[in-house]
Amino acid sequence: MIMQVVQYVAGLFLIVGTGFSLLAAAGILRFPDLYTRLHAATKAGTVGAGFVLLAIAISATDLAVSFRALGGIIFLVLTSPIAAHLLARAAYLAGDRPANITVVNDLENESRGTP
């Protein structure tokens, strides 16, 4: 009985996680500039991979495997924003400007921010 429930929940998590991954990919393809694409890739991508790892964590029979999957989630959540922030900063300094429909750009009129 409990095995059945675990299998249903794991299957649901797999579909939800890969659905988020597909949404992240769609955002990367459709959004107008790099900074909005970074939003889609880091947020939805992290949740997508996190749900798949969570499915492994709850369906594994070995506790070591579960904790390894949870460690993977923590690592992903910690490192993905750092990489995205660094990439956005590098792109802005390299002269990559936001799209015309951008409403707020705090670095625009700042002498320190404009490269």
Partner 1 sequence: MSGEVFLFVSENVALGLLALAVAVTLVRLLRGPSLPDRILALDTLTVLTISLIGVLTLRTGVTVLLDIALALCLVGFVATIALARYVLSRVPPTQGELRPEDGA
Q: Which residues bind partner 1 (CB under 8 A)?
A: 3-8, 10-12, 14-15, 17-19, 21-22, 24-26, 28-29, 34, 37-38, 41, 45-46, 48-49, 52-53, 55-56, 59-60, 62, 65, 68-69, 71-72, 75-76, 79-80, 82-83, 86-87, 89-91, 93-96, 111-115
Q: Which is nearer to partner 1, 83 or 102 (CB)?
A: 83
Q: Which is nearer to partner 1, 2 or 104 (CB)?
A: 2
Q: What is the DSSP string of the chain?
A: -HHHHHHHHHHHHHHHHHHHHHHHHHHHHHSSSHHHHHHIIIIIHHHHHHHHHHHHHHH-SSHHHHHHHHHHHHHHHHHHHHHHHHHHHHHHHTT-PPPTT----TTTT-TTT--
Least Å distance between CB 71 and partner 1?
7
Q: Which is nearer to partner 1, 103 or 111 (CB)?
A: 111
